[in-house]
Chain A
C-alpha cells in the first residue's frame, strides 16, 4: 500500500498545527455566524441603541441638527399630547377586539378541521389562502368591498334587508371593519397551529373520557382545552404582538381615519417619523412600543415557566 493517501498527508501533517482542534472549531464557528452577527449589530442592535438615544433628542429638520432634550419626548407623549392616549387606546381596542375574535375563530375552525373528513383539505386551503396573500392586496380589495352604498358588502346586506353603515367613514365602524378584515386575513395561521396541537393530542385521552361517559363539551372543556394551554399561550402572545405591529392593513384601508378613529401606534410612529419628521418624538413612541412588546414576551415566559412546573 505504497499509494496510501495517508502517507502523503502524514508528511504534511508533521508540521506542528497552529491551533488546537478546540480553537479551530471556535474560529470556524465565528466565521459561520459572522454574517448574522454583523447584520445583527448593524441593522438591529445598533438601531435599537440609537432609538433610545434619538428618543432623548429633538431633531431640527432645517438645520439637520439634533439637541438633547432628556425625557421631554416621553413627557410629551404621556402628558402633553392628547393624541398619544387616543392612539394607545385605539391600539388596545384593536388588539382586544382582534385577539379574542381571531383565537376563538381559529380554535373553532381547527376543531372542525383537525379530523379527516371529506372536504377537510378544501376548507383548510380556503381558510389559509388570505395568509399567503399580500396584506396590501387584501386591504385594497376590502376597502373596495366596504365602500358606502356602492360597496359589495352593503349591497349584499341590502338583499337581506340590512342597511349597512358607511363602514370606513364612521370611526367606530371603521375600527370594526379593520379588525374583522384583519382577522379573516390572519386567522388561518392560528388555525394551522391549533390543528397541529390538536393532532398531537393522543386519541386515547378522548376515548378514555368517552368511555367514562363524558359529553363532547365535557371532553373539550376537561381534556382538550387544558392540553392546548401551551399552544394557546404562544398563539396569544404572537397574535397580540402582531396586532400591535399592524401597519399596512390600516395604512391602506383607512389611513388612520376617520377622525383618527383607527390611528394605531405603529401607524402613529410612521406618521410622526416619516411624515412630520418628529424624529425624537417618534423614537420615544417606538421605545414605548418596544416596552409593550417586551412586557408581553416576559409575561409569556413567566406563564410558560409556571406551566412547566
Chain B
C-alpha cells in the first residue's frame, strides 16, 4: 500500500506561511501532478513529502505510517530534481548505484539493478561517462535511472523537464508516461506547465498561494473548473471571461438565464465564427494570427470586451470584418462574484 495522505499540512518560513493547510489523498499507483503559478507552493509541498523540507504543522502518511519526522531516505521515496543533481565527480554508473551502495545493497544485486535500469532507459553506452559529458536529455534519463534503482514506493518529480528544449520535453514526457505505465508506482509530479499536467496526470492538483484550488482528473478540470482561477489556468489559450451583464440579453433570447452569475466563461476553442447577427455574440475582427493548424482571432465585442477565438475552418474572416460568434450552451461556464463556479444553473440549461 503506497497511498499518500496529507492532512492539514502547513509550512512556515519564519512568519510567512507558504503552505496554508493542504488536505489530499493520493491513491496507490496514481500519477498526481501539482500545478500552479510560480510561488504557489507546489515545490515546497513536494519537498515536504520527500522529507527535504520539514513539516510545520499537520500530518503526512505514506501508507498507514506517519512520516512527519522520518528522514528523507527512509520514506521509501525517490526524487528526480529539476537540475538532475547528478554528482559531477561520479560516472553515470556510479551515480545510479550510489544510493544502493549507501544502503549497503549487495554488490551483485546493485549491479543487476543498475544494468536493468540502464537497459530500460537506453543508457548502457553511457555508463562510464561523467555527467558533464552528457546531453540534457541523457542527464535527465540518468536522473530517472537513479530514482528507479532504489525500487521506491513513490516517485517524486520536481519540474524535471523544465531544463530541456521544447522537442526533447515532448519526448521525455512520453517516456515518463511510459515509465509510469510499466512500473505502476505512485508518482507525484510538479510542473508549472499545464500541458504537461494534462497529458501526464491521473489527477491534477491546482495550487495557488499555498492552498488547493481544485483536485480532479484533467477532464474534470477542463470541463468543470471549480472557479475562475482554475478555469483560466487550465487550457491554452486561456478561457475568455465576459461580464454576465453584457451577454445577458443575447442569452435570454436562447432561453438561457444567467441568474446570479457575474461572469461567463467561454474557451477560445469552443467559439465558432458565424455570420454577423447569428450566434450569441457580435464583434469585429481586430487581429488575425495564422499559426498553421488554426488561426487565432482577436475579436472586439460590441460591449468593448475582447475575446480570443481559435478558428479551424475555411473562410477565415479578415480584419475589420463584422462577425457573429456561436457556442454550444453546454460549453458555457458561469461564475459568481467571488469567482466560484455556479454548476446547477449550467445543468438547468
Chain B, residue nearest A23 (CB): B69
Q: Is the CB of A22 within 8 A of B151?
A: no
Q: Are B67 and A13 in contact (CB under 8 A)?
A: yes
Chain B interface residue count, Cβ-Cβ cutoff 8 angstroms: 19
> Across the interface, which residues of B come within 8 angstroms of A14, CB to CB?
65
B74 / chain A contacts, CB cutoff of 8 Å: 6, 9-10, 12-13
Pick the residue among A1, A10, A13 that contacts B151 (CB under 8 A). A1
Q: Is A5 an interface residue (CB 8 A)?
A: yes
Nearest-Cβ distance from residue B333 to partner chain A, whole angstroms: 43
Q: Residues of B contacting A24 with CB < 8 Å?
A: 71
- Is B150 located at the chain interface by the 8 A CB criterion? yes
For residue A17, CB closer than 8 A to chain B, the reply is yes
Question: Is B153 touching A19 in the complex (CB atoms < 8 A)?
Answer: no
Partner of A4, one of B62, B69, B70, B76: B76
- CB of A9 within 8 A of CB of B76, answer yes
Chain B residues with CB under 8 A of A16 = 69
Tell me whether A21 and B51 are in contact in the complex, defined as CB-CB below 8 angstroms, given that A5-B103, A14-B65 are known contacts: yes
Rounded to whole Å, the gap between the CB of B114 and the closest CB of chain A is: 14
Q: Please, how many residues of chain A have a CB less than 8 angstroms from a CB on the other chain?
A: 18
Q: Which residues of A contact B152 (CB under 8 A)?
A: 4, 6
Contacts of B294 in A (CB 8 A): none
* B54 at interface by CB-CB < 8 Å: yes
List residues of chain A with CB within 8 A of the CB of B317: none
Residues A19 and B151 in contact in the complex (CB < 8 Å), given A4-B76, A10-B63? no
Q: Is B105 an interface residue (CB 8 A)?
A: yes
Task: Give the chain B neighbours of A7 by CB distance below 8 A.
Answer: 76
Query: Is A3 interfacial (CB-CB < 8 Å)?
Result: yes
Asked if A20 is at the interface of the complex by the 8 Å CB criterion, the answer is: yes
Contacts of A20 in B (CB 8 A): 54, 68-69
List A contacts of B65 (CB < 8 A).
10, 13-14
Nearest to B154 among chain A residues (CB) is: A6
Counting chain B CB atoms within 10 Å of each CB, which of A3, A5, A9 scores highest? Answer: A5
Chain B residues whose C-beta falls within 8 Å of the C-beta of A22 in the assembled complex = 54
Max chain B CB contacts within 10 Å: which of A6, A9, A14? A6
Contact A4 B63 (CB under 8 A): no
Query: Are B54 and A4 in touch, CB under 8 angstroms?
Result: no
Q: What per-residue 1/0 map shows which CB atoms of B24-61 lie under 8 Å from chain A?
A: 00000000000000000000000000010010000000
Residues of B within 8 A of A4 (CB): 76, 151-153
Q: Give complex CA distance A10, B61 in Å.
A: 12
Q: Smallest CB–CB gap between B148 and chain A, Å?
A: 11
- Contacting pair A17 B54 (CB below 8 A): no
Residue of B with least CB distance to A4: B151
In the bound complex, CA of A21 to CA of B151 (Å): 24
Interface centre among B68, B74, B103, B152 (most CB of A within 10 A): B74
Shortest distance from the beta carbon of A91 to any chain B beta carbon, whole Å: 48
For B103, list chain A residues within 8 Å (CB): 5
- Residues of B within 8 Å of A3, CB to CB, are 151
Given known A-B contacts A13-B74, A21-B51, A22-B54, A6 and B153 have beta carbons under 8 A apart: yes
Question: Per-residue 0/1 for A123-164: is the Cβ within 8 Å of any B Cβ (1 yes, 0 no)?
Answer: 000000000000000000000000000000000000000000
Q: Digit string of B61-97 for contact with A (CB within 8 Å is 1, else 0)?
A: 0110101111100111000000000000000000000
Given contacts A13-B65, A14-B65, A21-B69, contact A6 B54 (CB under 8 A): no
Residues of A within 8 A of B54 (CB): 20-22
Residue in A closest to B105 when the chains form the complex, CB atoms:
A5
Q: How far is the CB of B211 from chain A (nearest CB, A)?
A: 24
* A13-B74, A22-B54 given; A5·B150 CB < 8 A: yes
C-alpha spacing A14/B67, complex, angstroms: 9
Considering the complex, which residues of chain A in the window 102-133 have a beta carbon less than 8 Å from any beta carbon of chain B?
none
- Chain B nearest CB from A14 CB (Å) reads 6
In the assembled complex, 8 residue pairs joining A and B whose CB atoms fall closer than 8 Å, in A order, are A4-B152, A4-B153, A6-B150, A6-B151, A10-B62, A12-B74, A13-B67, A14-B65
Binding site for B on A (CB under 8 A): 1, 3-7, 9-10, 12-14, 16-17, 19-22, 24
B contact set with A: CB distance below 8 Å: 51, 54, 62-63, 65, 67-71, 74-76, 103, 105, 150-153
Closest 5 CB pairs of A and B: A6-B76, A4-B151, A17-B69, A21-B54, A9-B74
Task: With A5-B76, A13-B70, A19-B69 given, name 20 new contacts (CB 8 A).
Answer: A3-B151, A4-B76, A4-B151, A4-B152, A4-B153, A5-B105, A5-B151, A6-B75, A6-B152, A7-B76, A10-B63, A13-B74, A13-B75, A14-B65, A16-B69, A20-B69, A21-B51, A21-B69, A21-B71, A24-B71
